[in-house]
Structure 1
């Protein structure tokens, strides 16, 4: 269980980054997530340009657990090294999210911002 509340994502000024931007908002003190680990996370995702929320585990009222290798590249690269109890912001350009525009996903071509709370690792 976490005592954290749903994060607010500050609007980011300037052009969208070309590469993954990792910002630790809070450093955890629990076990560290390794590449390929299964993680238990709460997360919020917004579109970089509009700031509109497109997905949130908070809205569903429960965290979600999944293996990193099944996730977008930005998460595969951005979560390892994070410790349980931490909160990290990832800014994922399209090539590390859902691919270039026209890729068939509703978020293809978009730069995405996620705030992720790491609740557990396996």
Structure 2
């Protein structure tokens, strides 16, 4: 930029000036720009009128060229912010992330019609078939088999089998492998909120897939099984429902569910 400006400035007029020390009456054409010394009677001075005309012409030329350079410089520099504004990040490649999740789930042998998770950082989009229903709480359900009978109530004990999966379709827990179904009383905060909501309106013999969002899932930390805020998927089979009554024998009291 400096090279460009210097190239448009006119050459300094070739005038013969005596040094300041040889002048008896120094005069300044401009107190704020540059001092041009006039000396009267110096033998090396040119004609005063010719010198004044030449200097005025030089200053006028200089003024015009400087104005032009400022306008050009302003036009160039004003393009820089607009260039920065037009720069944009690569678009969110949802299709690529979806295919990646499907490939990983296939490697982990996820069950049929398993939901897909398009994750970018903490932003997750759940992709499911039309078999699934999403509730206002954020819980996502698919009733594979509805079952028969009444749904469990708070205080009753439910017996159920389950298989737990993470977003990659990898199995993380299973009561079928353990060989014994789980038994929990509803309404005692023994289950994570999403799991209890999902099993609360099931019927005996019913099978349901429950997709639990992080806000309805288990606590996260080094003392828990879960190490990050992720969706969890559970295939649940409700085996049975039992009523529970408190039994007291002497100083001993317990809860019996039949």
Q: TM-score, normalised by structure 2?
A: 0.40
CA contact (8 A) 2:159 2:182 kept: yes
Q: By how many angstroms is 1:76 displaced? A: 1.6
Q: Distance in 2 between matches of 1:19 and 1:61?
A: 31
Q: Which residue of 2 aligns with 1:117?
A: 237
Runs of 4 or more, structure 1, over 6 Å off, are none
**SS of 1:113 mapped into structure 2:** strand
Aligned with 1:12 (options 111, 115, 118): 115
Q: Distance in 1 between matches of 2:171 and 2:183?
A: 20
Larger strand proportion, structure 1 or 2? 1
Which of 42, 45, 59 pairs up with 2:164?
Answer: 45
Q: Which residue of 1 aligns with 2:182?
A: 64
- RCO higher in 1 or 2 (8 Å CA, sep ≥ 6)? 1
Q: TM-score, normalised by structure 1?
A: 0.80
Q: Give 1:81's aligned residue.
A: 201
Q: Structure 1 residues 13, 74: closer, same or farther in 2, change over 3 A?
A: same
Q: 1:109 to 1:9 in 2, by over 3 A?
A: farther
Q: Which has the larger radius of gyration?
A: 2
For 2:54, the equivalent position in structure 1 comes to none
CA distance in 2, matches of 1:64, 1:34: 17
Distance in 2, matches of 1:19 and 1:103, equals 26
Judging by fraction of residues, say which structure has more helix.
2
Shift, 1:79, TM fit = 1.0
Contact 1:16 1:111 in 2 (8 A): no
Whole-angstrom distance in 2 between the partners of 1:58 and 1:84:
17
Q: CA RMSD in A?
A: 2.4
Aligned residues: 114
Q: How far off is 1:94 after superposition?
A: 1.3
Gaps of 5+ in 1: 1-7
